[in-house]
Structure 1
Amino acid sequence: MFSGLSAFPLTPLNENSIDEKAFSNLVSRLAAAGVDSIGALGSTGSYAYLTREERCSAAKIAVDSAQGTPVMVGIGALRTRDVLLLAEDAQSAGANAVLLAPVSYQKLTQDEVFKLYEQVTRTLSVPLCVYDNPGTTHFEFTDELHSRIASLPSVASIKIPGVPSDPDEAKARVERLRALIPSTVSIGVSGDAFGATGLNAGCDAWYSVIGGLFPRTCLAITRAAQEKDATRAEAEAQQLEGFWSMFRQFGSLRVVAAAAEMLELTKGSSLPLPIRPIPENARKNLQQILSVLNLG
């Protein structure tokens, strides 16, 4: 399940609870489109803003709505104790894998992060994907740390935060990391603007935010790269430059939440306060992007 397109949907929220119906529908859309896996409770899934009970409920909904498509569930939390409880909940819900970011308030050391993964992997009965996302965790993995963690039991994939935009540099980056990790551990690119470049550079998977909303569009990019048609993959991705530009300005969560609302897939902004929707002028720009592109 750690290859191809892994689509990460929103977890639509109001200030009281998860919109369970909207979330179920978003997951069902991904399964119907034929994505290779579904990533519930990633950063776009607002996992850090949810209680344990809400996360347990979301995991169950994702598994039940996925129609047999493999589901990976995020288990990141500030304390190791809570990560272990969330791992239990995800496995009890039927998750096929878990996704773990080293969430922190106090800055973590490389050794502290290694010990986190070491302790968690000892308890798992499903594979784990390492979530390297310095934009949200403010923790920088070294390649040496990736190598140490990748050798732990249950570690099956590394979700890297992007690759250089130059194709040769991107390929070299992926090859450097691959040389340090077991052949059984896949490399997946995130940071949607780098999706096609990462796949063309040799990444096994695209862990995609926009894939959680437009799975067929992202599958077309993914399949082109898998078929070694780098030119077509990049051309397909280039059509989404308007989204990438807005992601850079406002963050992918705010933009995808606004797009989901415009497409009537959610009610209201679905964002957890204090996060606010994108401003009105940006909404107009996003509406124009959606009206021009034939996305699915």
Structure 2
Amino acid sequence: MFSGLSAFPLTPMNESGIDEAAFVRLVKRLVDANVDSIGALGSTGSYAYLTRAERARVAQLAVEHAGNVPVMVGISALRTRDVLTLAEDAQKAGASAVLLAPMSYQKLSTEEVFELYKTVTSSLSVPLCVYDNPGTTHFEFSDELYGRIAQLPNVRSIKIPGVPTDPEAAKAHVARLRALIPSHVTLGVSGDALAAMGLNAGCEAWYSVIGGLFPRTALAITRAALAGDAQAATRLSERLQPLWALFGQHGGSLRVVAAAAELRGLVEHPTLPLPLKALDGAADRQRLAVLLDELELA
């Protein structure tokens, strides 16, 4: 399950709770599109804003409605104790894998992060994907730390935060990481604008935000790259450049994707936990609506 397109859906919610019907609709869209796996409760799923009970419920809903598509569930939390509890909940829900980022308030040291993964992986009965997301955790993995963690039991994939924008530099980056980790551990690219570059450079998976909302578009890029058609994958990604630019203008993909889901009628407004807000200016939303139509994202 750690190859191909792993689609990360929103967790639609308001201040009253999770919109379970909307979440199920999003999951079913992914199943209908035949994605390779579903990543519930990643950053796109707003895991850090949910209670333990809410996270357990989202995990249950994802597994229940995913059919034969494997589900990976995020278990990140500030304390190791809570990570272990969330891992138990995810496994009880039937998750096929878990996703763990070194979430923190106090900046973590390299050894603290290694010990986190060592403790968690030693008690798991399902595989784990390492989640490197410095934009939210403010922790930067070294290549050497990737290599150490990849040797731990149950580690099966590393979600890296993008690759260099030069194709040759991207290939060298992936090759350097590949030399440090066992062959059974895959490399997955995130940062949607760099997905085609990462896949063309040798990453086996794309852990995708846009894939959680518009899976067929993301699948086309993924399938082309993994079939060895780098030109087609690049062309399909470059077509989405206006969307990638919009992500950059609004501090990342979450606010834009949430607004896109609202505009397409897939979720109710509001759909993010306060104080987060989807794009709410009339001009920004109109621009996004026009862009969705131009790019035929539905």
TM-score, L = length of structure 2: 0.98
Partner of 1:265 in structure 2?
266
State the match for 2:212 in structure 1.
Answer: 212
3-state SS of 2:18 partner: coil
Alpha-carbon shift at residue 150 of structure 1 (Å): 0.3
Q: Aligned residues: percent identity? A: 68
1:284 to partner: Cα distance: 1.3
Aligned to 2:155: 155
Distance 1:66 1:6 in 2: 13
* Larger mean Cα displacement after TM superposition, 238-247 or 17-26: 238-247
Instruction: For 1:275 and 1:294, locate their aligned partners in 2 and report how far apart those are by CA, in whole Å.
Output: 27
Letter in 2 for 1:244: W
After the TM superposition, which residues 221-240 of structure 1 pair with which residues of structure 2 at under 5 Å, given as runs?
221-240=221-240
Contact 1:216 1:295 in 2 (8 A): no
1:204-232 CA deviation, whole Å, 9 max, x = no partner?
00000000011011101000001100000
Unaligned runs of 5+ in 1: none
1:96-146 C-alpha deviation (Å, 9 max, x unpaired): 000000000000000000000000001100000000000000000001111
Structure 2: runs of 5+ lacking an equivalent: none
Q: Which runs of 4+ in 1 moved over 3 A?
A: none
Is structure 2 residue 259 aligned with structure 1 residue 276? no
Mapped to 2, the partners of 1:221 and 1:117 lie a distance apart of 32
One-letter code aligned to 2:133: N
Partner of 2:61: 61
Question: Which amino acid is 1:255 matched to?
Answer: V
Match of 1:3 in 2: 3
TM-score when normalising by structure 1: 0.99
After superposing the two structures, state which structure 1 stretch, 5-14 or 285-294, moved more.
285-294
- Give the superposition deviation at 1:260: 0.2
User: Partners in 1 of 2:124 and 2:278 — Cα distance?
Assistant: 37
Q: Deviations over 1:234-280 (max 9, x none)?
A: 00111111111111111211000000000000000301101122232
Aligned to 2:253: 252
1:95 aligns with 2:107: no
**Greater mean deviation of Cα atoms: 275-284 or 209-218:** 275-284
Q: CA RMSD in A?
A: 0.7
CA separation in 2, counterparts of 1:3 and 1:116?
25
SS in 2 for 1:126: coil
AA aligned to 1:283 is R
Aligned residue identity for 1:130? V
Distance 1:165 1:281 in 2: 31
Residues paired across the two proteins, number: 296
Deviations 1:37-79 (A, max 9, x none): 0000000000000000000000000001111100000000000
CA distance in 1, matches of 2:108, 2:87: 21
Distance 1:144 1:293 in 2: 40
Alignment of 1:181-196 (within 5 A): 181-196=181-196
